[in-house]
Amino acid sequence: MLTLHQDDVLLACHASDWRDALDQAAASLAEAGRATPAYRQGLHDREAQSSTYLGNAIAIPHGTPASRDQVLETGVRVLQFPDGVEWHDGNRVHVLVTIAAQSDEHLDILRALTHVLDREGVAQRLANAGTRAEVIAELSKAPVVAKVDIDTLCLNFPAKDRFELALAGAARLRQAGCVNAEFVAAIVEQEPVALGQGLWLASSAQGVATPALSLATPEAAFAGPKGQVNGVFCLAAQGEAHLGLLERIAELLDSGDGETLADADAATVLARLAGESASAETARVRVLNAHGLHARPAKQLVQVARNQGMPVKVRLLEGSAETVSAASLTKVIGLGARRGQTLVFSAEGEGAAAAVQALVEAVRGGLGEKVSPLDERSEAEEYRPAPRELEPLAADTAHPAVPAAPGLAIGSVFVMRTPRFEYPERARDLDGSRGGDAPVQKTRLSHALQAAAEQLEALIRRAQGGEVAEILSMHEEMLDDPELRESAHEGIDEGLSAEAAWWRGVDTAARAQEMLADRLLAERAADLRDVGRRVLGILCGVELPTPPESPYILVMDDIGPSDVARLDTAKVRGLLTARGGATSHSAILARALGIPAVVGAGERIMTLDNGTELILDGERGRVIPAPSRERRERAELRLKEHEARQKAAYAARFDEGRTRDGHRVEVAANLGNTAHAADAVEYGAEGVGLLRTEFVFMAHADAPNLDTQIAEYREAIDALDGRPLVARTLDVGGDKPLPYWPLPQEDNPFLGLRGIRLALTRPEILETQLRALLTAAGDKPLRIMLPMVKDVAEFRAAKIIVDRLQQEIQAPDVQLGVMIEVPSCALLAPSLAEEVDFFSIGTNDLTQYTLAIDRGHPELSAQSDGLHPAVLRLIQMTVDAAHAKGKWVGVCGELASDAQAVPVLVGLGVDELSVSLRQVPMVKARLREIDLVEARHQAELALGQATAEAVREALEAL
């Protein structure tokens, strides 16, 4: 993007007319080495096409596309004319922002300048500016934008009075990063003011970082002691930036739409606050112009709006929730609408429907520019070099990769390759029976949707219930989504083929889903695309790959958790992927299902032919295609020995976890479902080392109340029969969002609001959960651990709540600890050990944050290995600090079940290993194979290496 610099400002210029001013601007660009003298003609040609006057005494001359060859270096020159220059359209100009652009960088400056055009007195201040810095400051002064969007809304909140609603709104603003605790405290101390129509207002200017507006509505409107309560606005005031928000509220009340907010959804609330009346006619259209709504198409749009004979408003669906007049050029340009974004037009009164439709048709027509239909696939693709020829994997050779789930598998491979769908974008380019106008394309799509639904019905019947059937049923519901169908119909009306229109709708919906949060919602995006491909295959006549009926080893480029959940464990003997890492959620699920898995094997595995025999070693992390008879026989012998070890381990599952020389190491189970606590005991778990309580919350459409949580936790505690339960408090955010707790969109949610820092923004939810845990525990052993703690301050904030609750609730055997997931927490372990009762090391996130590798990254996740010496040193620091204060340390990450890592962790002094329940017997068996002296030797050996690869090689050589 172009930026303005003081060296590019020329003060006190004088020109006889606008042509002379352009000539001076061109000469200035040439003198600065930005353009040749011939660029002058481009400036004049552009002015002849359309005036570059923006408003408030500012013009932005720039050349035509044909003159870009005369640009030597992209740049800007700002010329100030104190006396002003009469422009050819009758306006008076004091400042020329003249641009030499080799592409379309000038559009960014144009969008930025539109925000200064409405400021009172700008023209005079630009004319009188005596220094370059004053000119730059005036042109660059960005407005403070007040925030009101889906992140600031708190709808259907279970509140009993307007004070709770005000506090809920304040907490939502804090969660969105707009205010701090000082603001929340100020809201608590005041009484909301009645606005009328059941709406109330609480506001403060204390602790405000960004002016913002929240609306909290109750689950059901109620009559309070001072009047009806339909909702409470919570306003974060700052300077004059929030005044526009108050104006929006006033307009809402003037229109009589206040009562409609009581049971409105987020989209409706934002539309009302944007200035769209409940009685208004509205219509949406996507911008097709290559460079969005810059000056030329914006002028066309404004002209169409002025011709309607009534006020028409427009807002950018993806922008701030504010409508502007469609008849104002500066306002329309200021929207900053880009290609692919959606404009929402609204008008009221007789003829309103025709007016908004006229604007929609104008946008679809290109607003005077040649436009092409949106094709998200091609526009999202970046340039990639021609694919290189992949060398096939050598037969009867061990190929190293990343061990993801232990076990050995021998069988034929089934390579799941995503089929390539080829189809024209435009319906007119279809041939044969697929061709035809819009009604034909809509009929084709309807038939394809019906056929896809029939396919899914057959698969659901075959699944005979269970998780697979649930996922397929969700796919069936997605097919019935009216928004997907309407989006596809819009594309067909624009001239797209049924294939292109359908995939555009699916891909757009999936992209929107991915943007809301991270991993869990991204998995739903994968489901959307899965459904989309099924329909697309029917439209294109392409059959999706079908796994064989006989057992097989599944080979894929990558696999998501929802894909793993759909695996038929009776047929899938093993899993091999080209990408992924050992701590990815897919690998975790594979371990939980007991499927041997190797990941991060590289794209060459995709050259394997279906039916190729393969040996997959999930413990050593290697695969051997087309093994020789001798190698296969050895593998079969190992498989028999492995199965015998599993049987022996299962038979001894109730023995205590001890090393060969009697050193005690507890082996517990990781659980996500409280109903599986009895299964953990049956597998020999000596307790639960990690109960992921967020799954209790994910299982409900609304936040579970106190009684529901008590019942869920008590089920697990009773099943453990006196064994300890380590419960992690609610850990959402990052990859685990909740539908009823919407989170603000973050560039990197794993480094944003999650874990304890998120829970502390909603202390009422955290307190309810802690109360439920303590009540459910009674006199049974309960260990509560706080996730994503970065320092002692966050621990203390939660401990205050626990201490207060323990004065009310009799629960004598309770410990409070923290998870070591953030490197800062490990580095501060000595100070934390003074106050906590225990540490539990979450090696999955600790590895991710220490190595700066997203464990779901398609290329890098294979390098995310918990045996990296940097991670091991943090574990050592934690153990040493804890033991110095008599505190215990557990490991609840996937490293705890890694056969190579178990001796290292024991050698480092870890007191407890918590693994998936199926792994409990084998981890106990692994402990019985080593003694403490040997384990300490392996730990020292690992700490002395430079890389994770070197650690594994050194351990393998022992």
- Judge whether residue 121 has pLDDT over 80: no
CA distances from 559 to 368, 416, 789, 893 (A): 46, 10, 31, 21
Catalytic pick from 106, 242, 585, 676? 585
CATH topology of domain 402-417+547-641: Glucose Oxidase; domain 1 (3.50.30)
Reply yes or no on whether 13 is catalytic. Answer: no
Assign domain 656-957 one CATH number from 3.20.20.60, 3.40.50.300, 3.40.50.10860, 1.10.10.10: 3.20.20.60
Which one of 247-256, 459-468, 579-588 scores highest in mean pLDDT?
Answer: 247-256
Residue-wise pLDDT for 363-402, tens only, equals: 988 887 887 777 544 443 333 344 456 788 899 998 888 7
CATH topology of domain 150-274: Mannitol-specific EII; Chain A (3.40.930)
Summary mean pLDDT of the chain: 83
**Sole residue written with tokens 């294109």:** 540
More confident residue, 332 or 750: 332
Per-residue confidence (pLDDT) for residue 519, from 0 to 100? 42
Reply yes or no on whether 892 is catalytic. Answer: yes
Catalytic pick from 13, 62, 106, 489? 62
Nearest to 235 by CA among 205, 208, 203, 206: 203
Let me know: does 328 contact 316? Beta carbons within 8 Å: no
What does the buried/exposed string (b/e) look like for 792-829 if buried means 16 or more CB atoms within 10 Å of the residue's CB? bebbebbbebbeebeeeeebeebbbbbbbbbbebbbbb
**Sole residue written with tokens 């700490």:** 943
- Tell me if the domain spanning 282-372 has CATH number 3.30.1340.10: yes
More confident residue, 929 or 695: 929
Residue-wise pLDDT for 754-792, tens only, equals: 778 778 877 888 899 999 999 999 999 999 999 999 889
CA 291, CA 372: separation in Å to the nearest integer?
A: 12
Reply yes or no on whether 585 is catalytic. Answer: yes
Per-residue confidence (pLDDT) for residue 482, from 0 to 100? 83
More confident residue, 158 or 610: 610
Percent of the residues in the chain that have a pLDDT greater than 90, as a whole number: 35
- Judge whether residue 518 has pLDDT over 50: no
β-partners of residue 555 are 415, 576
Catalytic pick from 154, 234, 825, 892? 892
- Rounded CA Rg of the chain: 32
Reply yes or no on whether 62 is catalytic. Answer: yes
Q: Looking at domain 427-540, which CATH architecture does it have?
A: Orthogonal Bundle (1.10)
Q: Where are the alpha helices (DSSP H) in 594-746?
A: 629-651, 677-682, 694-698, 706-720
Catalytic pick from 94, 106, 294, 676? 294
Q: Do domains 6-140 and 150-274 have the same CATH topology?
A: yes
Structural domain boundaries of the chain?
6-140, 150-274, 282-372, 402-417+547-641, 427-540, 656-957
Query: What CATH number does the domain located at 6-140 have?
Result: 3.40.930.10
Side-chain half-sphere of 368: how many Cα atoms within 13 Å? 15
